[in-house]
Chains A and B, each alone.
Chain A
């Protein structure tokens, strides 16, 4: 079974520039998550999709971050404009919607450096 794919793996941009990240979840997984992980901290959930609908985006800085999941499969996360404090690893995860648990499968992440 193929895992969660993310691209790019690394990105360096200057502040005030824009950047986009792409995620392809595991086939058949209805739920998709985007996390921000700052160095030395645990992942922070930015947005959670169920199919192509948003379940939770309470911690997404909506003035600069946006995300979409068209057709309920791939997803993109965008930052516009970027700030220095956005430097982090952006993780995508997916899970099946089952009643037995919420095991999430994570991709390798995209390491963003804002200079």
Chain B
């Protein structure tokens, strides 16, 4: 199977600071990447996605960066809030088939 992994299992940040969550993937054929947020007891929630023909995509307070050369993906959260505390997963797929999720990074926002 494919390998999608995260560099850090846990991350703690002060409220108001920016957060960066990293992800490494191994399948160079993957053409679509997604970041999900999962709160305790709930299913994952879509945050932002990016196609392999892009390097950067911005949403509301979030930015995803894709570096295909080193197969690296990152999620940047601006002005982190307590409500951002959750586990964040990256996922990859090739043309919408065979989705692979990473292990996850637990983000804790300190008030």
Q: Give chain A's interface residues, CB within 8 Å of chain B.
A: 4, 31, 33, 35, 40-45, 48, 55-56, 58-59, 91, 93, 101-109
Contact = CB atoms under 8 A, between A and B. Distances in A.
B49 A56 contact: no
A43 B89 contact: yes
Interface in B20-47: 32, 34, 41-46
Contacts, number: 60
B41 A108 contact: yes
B89 A102 contact: no
Interface residues on B, range: 20 to 34
B104 A41 contact: yes
B98 A42 contact: no
A43 B103 contact: no
B104 A42 contact: yes
14 contacts: A42-B4, A45-B98, A45-B99, A48-B97, A55-B97, A56-B98, A93-B44, A102-B93, A103-B49, A104-B34, A104-B46, A108-B41, A109-B42, A109-B43
Interface of B: 1, 4, 32, 34, 41-46, 49, 89, 91, 93, 96-104
Contacts of B97: 48, 55-56
Contacts of A104: 34, 44, 46, 99
Contacts of B98: 45, 48, 56, 58
A103 to B, nearest CB: 5
B102 A102 contact: no
A43 B42 contact: no
